[in-house]
Structure 1
Amino acid sequence: MTSGAEAGSGSGEIAVLGVGMHPWGKWGHSFVRYGVVAARAALGDAGLDWRRIRSVVGANTVRGGYPGQVAGATFARALGWQGARVTSVYAACASGAQAIDAARAQILAGLADAVLVVGADSAPKGFFAPSGGDRPDDPDWLRFRVLGATNPAYFGLHARRRMALHGDTPEDFALVKVKNAAAGALNPDARYRTRVSPREVAASAVVADPLRLLDICATSDGAAALVLSSLEFARRHGAADPVRLRAVSTLTPVYPRTVLDLPDIATDSALAVRSPPHSFRASLARAAYEEAGIGPADLSLAEVYDLSTALELEWYEDIGLCGPGEGAKLVREGVTALGGRIPVNAGGGLASFGEAVPAQAIAQVCELTRQLRGTAGARQVAGARAGIAVTQGLFGHGSAVVAVR
């Protein structure tokens, strides 16, 4: 792993030349249509002709049929064949960040000086279901088919765990939604652009106790895209001080599976479960900080993966904004709201966008870029100089991206 001193030299940095999005919602079109809109917007923002791009990395969507499984080639074809290399990446909810990582590796290896990264989805109504029939090796299939536990079920279990361990309350969870809705109301790409009150959150339908409808993100159509390049290419094309990606962490858990001790037959002792020594999500953030040569105190803002309001509080702790069990205190005091010491989900988060799986980690980096450029409009974080975007996918996939200016 790169040391902090080495990371600070910029040798592993790449530039963000362009960002683009298709507004998120329920539009009823192909994911390809959304991705092309986002890609063209990113190219326009970068001031580059499509023919100048030497590589396309697509974040896959398993719900898009075969075109979704080969998203890199699908987007390259839709934009017009011009000889670029193509790469397609799938990592569940971390697909977008893994696509960014693949693009970065190509740039740093000298395989391409400018790379287009695209993620787009046309999501089904309701909560995601596994695709492709019976898949007994798929944790989602097992949860849905064997346990009957769709995503909100484990969101609720996680919330209950926080209540039991740390004393969090449903009112604390509601404050997260209130905060993110206020930010989303200022974001023209967000699906939900209406502020809500704690009373409205409490009055929404119970989905998985203690979480209510407004505590849980929706599923959406949408797209996001980035044009990434080497720093040398950026300077040659007039970007003297671009936003830079200084670190991308895509680690796996320390223990991919829970380890069970065999029972002591002589004493009939109970099975003991050995827990990992630290959080998988915290490991992702630590690795990114180490590579970037910065720490939580250096952040101006963070974009975190808020599938539920309770999960956002956990991320505060995992990325080092506070100690274990102190996440609710930050949201109560307004620390993570726009205008607070360290705004979290200044773009509105999944609470305001909903899940468009291949696009969401890319959308996080779009928001960091706009904030670090100072072009985020009414939701601008004053003096933003560094940010982190974090997400977690199925089967040990996860990511943390650090951007600086």
Structure 2
Amino acid sequence: MSAREVAVLGVGMHPWGKWGRPFVEYGVHAARAALADAGVAWTDVDLVVGGETVRNGYGGYVAGATFAQALGWNGARVATSYAACATGAQALDTARARILAGLSEVALVVGADTTPKGFLAPNAGERWDDPDWLRFRLLGMTNPAYFALYARRRMDLFGATSEDFAQVKVKNARHGLANPYARYRKEVSVADVLGSAVVSDPLHLLDICATSDGAAAVLVTSTEYAARHGLADAVRIAGISTVTPTFPNTVLDMPNLSTDSSLATREPERTFKASIGHAAYEEAGVSPADVDVAEVYDLSTALELDWIEDLALCGPGEAEKLLRAGETTLGGRIPVNPSGGLACFGEAVPAQALAQVCELTWQLRGQAEGRQVEGARVGITANQGLFGHGSSVVLTR
């Protein structure tokens, strides 16, 4: 293990669904599962990092302390992170940084959410300096409409079709059948997807992920702690990227609402999303060619195709070719979302980046029963928050 790595000793989840119970209940369930998986006592944990949930009151805003109290005061330090859909990875990065600095040895990272029905909207009240609020209230630009812009862009740039997008859902639904934590465990066909209601053209209802309740937890330690406990061969976090755009290349790789029509067809030298993956590869000392399995941010089916290219798992405009050839499914060259992805889970915002780390840990251990990527040694995740932040985590074995 290198001096910049930390060990993943335990992972745990609470099944995704619409349970309607307090988010803390889900988080405690996942945390205890991670501790049991690691064989580590709660009293050994010296840092708890919570993923903030903005829809669950004051306890959600101080999630680190909320989970520490619910698990039983043990004197651990606490921290709370928020980065929209990149929250879990940012929380994990906080834990990793303190371990690498020698300020912590055993850290528990927990994300959990209880969500309302429908798409995720900004909290109530008028906030004229909040671009998220403005795009919803003044422009009607809800998240499904935002996803549709990405999808239409793929069609215009690369000739993607609605059938391609539907095939992503078909693949992920098949993967999710074997995942006991997935909310949706049912096969669908291309006809099912195309026959579902149009939400925001060209995307149908089954192209877009749901909002869900759920939780995930990851127990990370110093490599020295892992070695002392006979776990020197544990899965390792080799790199985490939480980069922001770099001037002058600050176009968030989609048309957005700019009056510059050339942005719809121009490929920047390296887009912001591509920079997220590049930074993770660089830190981990691996290349896209080393990756055996990927868990990416499929808020919509079209976005999965974008991320395959952003992570340099293929060239621009080639993701559809991989999909059509079966290369992104189990048994293919680079399986993507063997967990079933958000297509099968839905969004539980503080938990989803951690859920990806859980899945890759099981994959690299060879424990992903029914959905195992054979011989997986290197995995990568990807998430994007809003307005210039995202995350990618590289795990190795």
Shorter-chain TM-score bucket reads over 0.9
> Which deviations, in whole Å up to 9, do the C-alpha atoms of 1:136-178 show, x marking residues without a partner?
2222211110001111111112111111111000000001000
Contact 2:251 2:271 in 1 (8 A): no
Contact 1:118 1:223 in 2 (8 A): yes
Specify the SS of the correspondent of 2:148.
helix
- Map of 1:360 onto structure 2: 352
Q: Does 1:54 align with 2:18?
A: no
Contact 1:15 1:229 in 2 (8 A): yes
1:164-175 correspondence to structure 2 within 5 Å: 164-175=156-167
- Map of 2:255 onto structure 1: none
- Residues 1:13 and 1:184: Cα distance change in structure 2 (over 3 Å): same
Contact 1:93 1:392 in 2 (8 A): yes
- Residues 1:212 and 1:235: Cα distance change in structure 2 (over 3 Å): same
Contact 1:58 1:118 in 2 (8 A): yes
- Map of 1:236 onto structure 2: 228
- Map of 1:28 onto structure 2: 20
- Map of 2:120 onto structure 1: 128
Contact 2:8 2:218 in 1 (8 A): yes
TM-score (structure 1 length as normaliser) = 0.93
- Map of 2:384 onto structure 1: 392
- Map of 2:256 onto structure 1: none
Supply the AA of the counterpart residue of 2:152.
Answer: R
Where in structure 1 do 4 or more consecutive aligned residues deviate above 3 Å? 255-259, 270-277
Write the distance in 1 (CA, Å) between the matches of 2:156 and 2:112: 38
Shift of 1:116: 0.1
Write the distance in 2 (CA, Å) between the matches of 1:136 and 1:128: 19
Write the distance in 2 (CA, Å) between the matches of 1:333 and 1:277: 28
- Map of 2:170 onto structure 1: 178
Q: Does 1:153 align with 2:145?
A: yes
Specify which of 169, 182, 193 is matched with residue 185 of structure 2.
193
Write the distance in 2 (CA, Å) between the matches of 1:273 and 1:73: 48
Shift of 1:277: 3.8
Supply the AA of the counterpart residue of 2:75.
Answer: G
Report the number of matched residues.
387
Q: Matched residues, percent identical?
A: 67
TM-score (structure 2 length as normaliser) = 0.95
CA RMSD in angstroms, aligned pairs only: 1.5
- Residues 1:46 and 1:204: Cα distance change in structure 2 (over 3 Å): same
Contact 1:73 1:87 in 2 (8 A): yes
- Map of 1:305 onto structure 2: 297
- Map of 2:309 onto structure 1: 317
> Which deviations, in whole Å up to 9, do the C-alpha atoms of 1:196-218 show, x marking residues without a partner?
11111111111111110000000
Shift of 1:273: 7.5
Write the distance in 2 (CA, Å) between the matches of 1:23 and 1:206: 28
Contact 2:113 2:215 in 1 (8 A): yes
Contact 1:258 1:273 in 2 (8 A): no
Write the distance in 1 (CA, Å) between the matches of 2:105 and 2:121: 38
Write the distance in 2 (CA, Å) between the matches of 1:168 and 1:79: 48
Question: Which ranges in structure 2 are unaligned for 5 or more consecutive residues?
Answer: 253-258
Q: Quick check: 390-399 or 299-308, which moved more?
A: 390-399
Q: Quick check: 142-151 or 272-281, which moved more?
A: 272-281
Bigger CA radius of gyration: 1
Shift of 1:321: 1.1
Specify the SS of the correspondent of 1:63.
coil
> Which deviations, in whole Å up to 9, do the C-alpha atoms of 1:109-129 show, x marking residues without a partner?
111100000000001110001
Specify the SS of the correspondent of 1:225.
strand
Write the distance in 2 (CA, Å) between the matches of 1:22 and 1:199: 32
Write the distance in 2 (CA, Å) between the matches of 1:401 and 1:277: 23
1:161-310 correspondence to structure 2 within 5 Å: 161-255=153-247, 277-310=269-302
> Which deviations, in whole Å up to 9, do the C-alpha atoms of 1:91-118 show, x marking residues without a partner?
1110000000000001001111000000
- Residues 1:162 and 1:15: Cα distance change in structure 2 (over 3 Å): same
Q: Quick check: 134-143 or 183-192, which moved more?
A: 134-143
